[in-house]
Amino acid sequence: MTDLIRRLASSSLTARVAFGIAFLLISGGVIVSIAAFAYGREAARSAYDRLLLGAATGIASSITVQDGRPVIELPVSAFELLALAPDDRIGYRIIGVEGETLTGYDEITLPTGRRDIRGGFFDGAFFGEQARFAVVSRRFAERTLNGTVKVVVGQTLRARNEMAYDITRKALYVLAASGLAMVLLSVVVVRSVLQPLERIAGGLTARDPHDLTPLDTSVPRETAVMINALNGFMARLDRQMNSMRHLISDTAHQLRTPVAALRAQADLFTDEPELARKEKIVERIQARTASLGRLLDQLLSQALVIHRGDSARRERVDLRDIALDVFEEGDHAVLNPEFDVILDIGEDPVEVLADAQSLKEALKNLLNNALRYGRSPVRIGASLEGDRASIWVEDAGSGPVDGVLAELGSRFNKGARSRQSSSGLGLAIAHSVAHSFDGELLLEKTTSSSFRAALVFAALPEGRA
């Protein structure tokens, strides 16, 4: 059964529709056959019961009384009616007022317990064959004869059954013809319905592999759902590809200069005979190596943010937990022990819908910028102001001048104090994280002696998942 369900689930839409129509026709055919046979039997019974009743009434009407005895002259017309069913056997019995048989077959008996039956129909047997009988009573009230004479006329059921089967066959012929018409019509309808899908498939097949522009949405409403989902997927894929192209170009752009500088310093070291100059070259190589390490860290951080921006599932995140995690990792205490880093979070939740790992990477970059270019002490915190939630890093420095401050946050943009040692990616990463989760990066001077970099998002109301 499981294999059958799996095969049906993977079958074509045409096969599914054909299976559904076939099941409908078979079920309907069974129901119509039963109904047609029941109707045929009822129609045949009604028709032949009228013939029986007519024959019995004709015989009863021909009975007369002479010398106190009933005289019977069987009318030919009564049997001509019953002769309309030539393959059936006919039997009759006329019962006198005392219950005696006046003429006919004694084998025809009234139903047990119904000897007082005066009219109507009943089923019985006639020489071992099923038959249908009609009873007509005629009342005589004369001086010489007072009582009821009963006329019983019966007929076997061959013609009735044949008529019922004939009606059923004709109904099934009509059903088969209509079923065939429905199948042909369904094929036309299914092909017409599937044409938009075939057109979409043809358009996708003919597309250039790098063409991720939206598909035409002028399609039927049911298909538009799939087209919109496909366009959304291609838009995310296009953003991912553009981000990866930017990452590759960033990597090539950023690594070219430090790698060339390291190679040049290594060549100088090889050709330099003086030991004092060699020591200076080694110091420069170490500085370049440390700078290259920081650059690689930022490039990896940017790659992580790019990957998780569209693929990571948004979850309820408390920004206080992000600030606490970055603070407790303690990288600042190892790399910049001369700085005092202070955690500033309150007791009330500061919750947003975002990705915790991306927020941590963004906050680490903001903290590194503050440690490299700001002044001690540095504060890490999360706060809630109305419907805006923010996670921020604040140092005691004055920050860059207003002209430079307006340009920070774009790729490869470096402040005046970081032209030689920064890639300009730190704030760009933070800006990408803010944009991915419908937030913004704010760089502002809070007072005359402090500078704050903050990621600001819409706060999540309490109880919302």
Are β-strands 440-447 and 146-156 bridged in parallel, bridged antiparallel, or unpaired?
A: unpaired
The pLDDT assigned to 7 comes to 65
In this structure, are residues 104 and 133 in contact, taking their beta carbons and an 8 Å threshold? no
Question: Which of 44-56 are b and which e, b meaning 16 or more Cβ less than 10 Å from the residue's Cβ?
Answer: bbeebbebbbbbb
The pLDDT assigned to 233 comes to 82
| Length reported for the chain | 465
CB count within 10 Å of CB 67 equals 7
The pLDDT assigned to 400 comes to 72
In this structure, are residues 149 and 60 in contact, taking their beta carbons and an 8 Å threshold? yes
438: phi then psi, degrees, rounded to nearest 5: 60, 35
Encoding tokens for residue 306? 């790019």
The pLDDT assigned to 321 comes to 93
pLDDT in single tens digits along all 465 residues of the chain: 566 666 655 666 677 777 777 788 788 888 888 888 888 888 888 888 888 888 888 888 888 888 778 888 888 888 787 787 888 888 889 988 888 888 888 888 888 765 556 678 888 888 888 899 999 988 888 777 888 888 999 989 888 888 888 888 888 888 888 888 887 887 787 778 777 777 777 777 888 877 788 877 677 777 778 888 888 888 877 877 776 776 677 666 667 767 777 788 788 778 778 878 878 888 888 877 877 776 677 666 666 666 665 566 788 999 999 999 989 887 777 778 888 999 998 888 999 998 888 888 889 888 988 888 888 899 999 999 888 999 999 998 877 766 556 665 444 444 444 433 444 567 777 887 888 888 998 888 887 678 999 999 999 887 554
- The SS3 assignment for 139 reads strand
Are β-strands 341-345 and 378-385 bridged in parallel, bridged antiparallel, or unpaired?
A: parallel
Distance, in Å, from the CA atom of 59 to the CA atom of 357, rounded to the nearest integer, reads: 104
The pLDDT assigned to 42 comes to 87
The pLDDT assigned to 412 comes to 43
pTM for the model: 0.47
395 Cβ contact partners less than 8 Å away, ≥ 6 residues apart: 370, 374, 375, 376, 377, 378, 379, 450, 451
Distance, in Å, from the CA atom of 203 to the CA atom of 234, rounded to the nearest integer, reads: 14
Distance, in Å, from the CA atom of 177 to the CA atom of 171, rounded to the nearest integer, reads: 10
Distance, in Å, from the CA atom of 262 to the CA atom of 285, rounded to the nearest integer, reads: 6
Encoding tokens for residue 393? 């890093």
